Amino acid sequence: MTSARDIMSPGAECIGAEETVLKAAESMTRLGVGAMPICGTDNKLKGMLTDRDIVVKVLGRAQDPSQVKAGDLRQSEAVTIGADDGVEEIMATMAEHKVRRLPVIDGHELVGMVAQADVARALPNPDVGELLEVISEE
């Protein structure tokens, strides 16, 4: 069985909940990613921050990204997947929560990220179409 650990991008970096959105945007640029996990001072995952969150919730509202904290933008607890969960579970979780990226957790430790593209590469072609259709529904 192919697991999240097999297809994830390892070594995901967190942005601290008390760090600014500007610092998060700089980190996203440096890493070439569109989303970052938000971690608290206890290093536990608190949520996710996306480039869309920054544009819509900060820039679109004429707020100063050097003043807004990353933790202020988190919605609810992050949807995660276990490192040993299979591709079918990943696909079901993405579809249920309509998310394109999942932090991968081993115990309480963030060990990587699984993106929609990672899952697509691991699935047979008919399942890929189903995943894309379900996640993209409005």
CA distances from 21 to 13, 15, 28 (A): 15, 9, 10
Mean pLDDT, residues 93-97 taken together: 90
What distance in Å separates the CA atoms of residue 118 and residue 97, rounded to the nearest whole number?
Answer: 17
d(CA 118, CA 65): 31
pTM of the model: 0.79
Fold observed for domain 4-136: CBS-domain (3.10.580)
Distance between CA 4 and CA 122 in Å, rounded?
10
pLDDT score for 138: 46
What pLDDT, on a 0 to 100 scale, did the predictor assign at position 136? 56
The tens digit of pLDDT for each residue in 6-36 reads: 999 888 899 999 999 999 999 999 999 888 9
Higher pLDDT, 104 or 124: 104
